[in-house]
Structure 1
């Protein structure tokens, strides 16, 4: 894994900016799977939002190949844990961060809070970040465990602070929309602490602290929204999924903040998708791969290819809503296109489409117009992409895919070239 050293970071100068899904990808944020993956057990995997337990060394090999493909295509790869450790080199920031993290983990002031703060605060910063992400086991406190809130007699988990195995899906933590950020407010407890990391990075890391980044949504907002549901289609249109993890109210709040804060965005397309684990985010069933080409899982559509879709625009009264049912027509109207090419997962075959959607056949990461990164296991969808003129970079996926997320899920773009 490439480690971005402090001197390298000091040389980097860029302004966060995402004005499309397809502009040449310049800078991206990843998280290499770590020991947090090995700290999933059969008893905890569903609580931690996993259906299986990936084999760590193979997952790391696959992820390294993903990062290598990006670098070969001149994408600057940054790592979440490295940026967080750099941010926390400041002792005052580190102290405040620990207070926030332990509180978010469910511990208020008291014996457990004090023990965790003392243990973590005395670790070297990079090691501390790793420990936080992989989970803190009760055994590190030895005989003092009896003074802590969680006792083995009533709590049979070995962890006093749970691991965060979903971190390698960095897309969900936040979305850069234009020059601003929407920091996610996660639906499930297993992921709610993760967004604290990106909040501190964007606020205090030297790469971002000299930028004025407006926030379209904040992690402590009541309404729930996750980055996998947000697609920045161009410089004035955003699509957002109404999903298992993003609420209607969050989309309304996001639209309101975009419209009234000079964001440049005047259109939000809200797309209703089935509310289930297999289709947890919009980007698991729909992504943009070229100016007029999109992948789509056909089962999100109803009879006669109809869907529940709303467009939101600013009005004198706040927001104007319009109901639609034809995805192609909405995309043509909002993006000013004469034609739209919908590329169906698994070629629309009822077996292949379902199988490949489960393995993230629709979750493509576009790195330039008409050029994508996909999982190699989705060979039917990949063949169809090529038939439609898309350049496809395949990466190995036997273990990464067990987390129910693909290349788009595993990447948070920070900078794309304007179209």
Structure 2
């Protein structure tokens, strides 16, 4: 594994992961802009940082190399020319065009900072009160004279799964659904193009951030080196999934995509909020996405003999997983034990959003005690992390992590299910 990107499963031992430690962007939230920022509540930054540090240490204690998005981005912006181009693009995507005098003002303000300071400032946002001695006429050029920011904060950046996702030896640099998050994927594109550890590695970009159709990393699950599961969700469109299939089929080891249609709502915004893989034959699932008979709409995408993408509709999740993962048994572990109160409560608090760090070994939020106890009863090793403030952003351990390198796993064998319960 010489490439800095190597992810051929959800469950292979995690070797390198990218996080973002929450910063001042959380303190720049106010009730009036929560909806605009796609945030439900305002986490207390001091405790959120302590919880995130605990999360990072939990990973490091298991031998996982933790990289920080903000550090990688700052290290990519050492050259003034690169930094200038990055700021120009960021401001353009923030609605501040080059011809606007405000563009030049903010460009000069940010260029005067060291790269690491500038990156933190960009994520935190720029309040009007932070720039002194601005001509009143210039200040009025901002979007709204009463709005407190020249540049909006990015409070969702700590969910590093969504802006980009590793698939095999390449990545998707995602076109985010909502404007509030769309600038975030510019960070990873800049890193891949300019960071010394990435820029000369010929890393395939399976889908770029400027391509039509929305897709986010929380909907992208790498089940093995041939099969992906992708959610058709509030944040990922069928068009984007088909486009990704064309990019992958024949150009990678992947030849099957299981497109799973989930409810299009804020509580279940991504597939990984209702379904994650935690072992060869074990998955968490929010039971309320399935019908009473266990059915859900699934579309199987595979290449046909002419190189086009054929789509086969199915609806039995267990049978589809058994068929395409070549398993005789599947163990679906219901969030909250399928209790009518505990299940939706723990799903809302990301009880389904488990991060597998090895086969049968996961990191979860401690608050989801019903789901965590059930995981243990099913033979899963559970590492609980603190979650009172981080969970307010509506994302769990999987959302907060972008795996870059995982060890390869052996092909699943039919006897795995039996072996697991005999150990």
Cα distance in 2 for residues equivalent to 1:340 and 1:275:
26
Aligned pair in 2 of structure 1 residues 106, 151: CA closer, same or farther (>3 Å)?
closer
SS at match of 2:96: coil
Cα distance, 1:95 vs structure 2: 1.4
**Would you say how many aligned residue pairs link Structure 1 and Structure 2?**
407
- Please tell me whether the aligned partners of residues 176 and 182 of structure 1 are also in contact (alpha carbons under 8 angstroms): yes
Cα distance in 2 for residues equivalent to 1:411 and 1:225:
17
- Please tell me whether the aligned partners of residues 36 and 133 of structure 1 are also in contact (alpha carbons under 8 angstroms): yes
1:366 aligns with 356
Aligned pair in 2 of structure 1 residues 339, 42: CA closer, same or farther (>3 Å)?
same
2:371 aligns with 381
Aligned pair in 2 of structure 1 residues 145, 308: CA closer, same or farther (>3 Å)?
farther
Q: Which is further off, 13-22 or 186-195? A: 13-22
- Residues 35-68 of structure 1 show CA distances to partners (whole Å, capped at 9, x for unaligned) of 0001110000111111110000000000000000
- Please tell me whether the aligned partners of residues 142 and 150 of structure 2 are also in contact (alpha carbons under 8 angstroms): no
Aligned pair in 2 of structure 1 residues 233, 96: CA closer, same or farther (>3 Å)?
same
- Residues 178-203 of structure 1 show CA distances to partners (whole Å, capped at 9, x for unaligned) of 11111110011110110000111112
Q: CA RMSD in A?
A: 1.4
1:185 aligns with 175
SS at match of 1:144: coil
User: Is residue 2:36 matched to residue 1:26?
Assistant: no
1:134 aligns with 124
Q: Which of residues 329, 340, 361 in structure 2 aligns to 1:350?
A: 340
Cα distance in 1 for residues equivalent to 2:142 and 2:154:
21
Q: Which of residues 120, 124, 146 in structure 1 aligns to 2:110?
A: 120
Structure 1 segments, 4+ long, off by >4 Å, are 149-154
Cα distance in 2 for residues equivalent to 1:201 and 1:106:
23
2:46 aligns with 57
Q: Which is further off, 297-306 or 408-417? A: 297-306
Cα distance, 1:79 vs structure 2: 0.3
2:63 aligns with 74
Cα distance in 2 for residues equivalent to 1:196 and 1:323:
35
1:413 aligns with 403
User: Is residue 2:6 matched to residue 1:17?
Assistant: yes
After superposition, residues 19-418 of structure 1 pair within 5 angstroms as 19-109=8-98, 110-148=100-138, 150=140, 154-260=144-250, 262-315=251-304, 316=306, 318-418=308-408
Cα distance in 1 for residues equivalent to 2:3 and 2:242:
30
- Please tell me whether the aligned partners of residues 150 and 160 of structure 1 are also in contact (alpha carbons under 8 angstroms): no
Cα distance in 2 for residues equivalent to 1:64 and 1:216:
32
SS at match of 2:197: coil
Cα distance in 2 for residues equivalent to 1:185 and 1:131:
23
Unaligned runs of 5+ in 2: 410-423
Cα distance in 1 for residues equivalent to 2:2 and 2:256:
30
Normalised to the residue count of structure 1, the TM-score between the two structures is 0.95
- Please tell me whether the aligned partners of residues 3 and 201 of structure 2 are also in contact (alpha carbons under 8 angstroms): no
Cα distance, 1:150 vs structure 2: 4.3
- Please tell me whether the aligned partners of residues 111 and 149 of structure 1 are also in contact (alpha carbons under 8 angstroms): no
Normalised to the residue count of structure 2, the TM-score between the two structures is 0.94
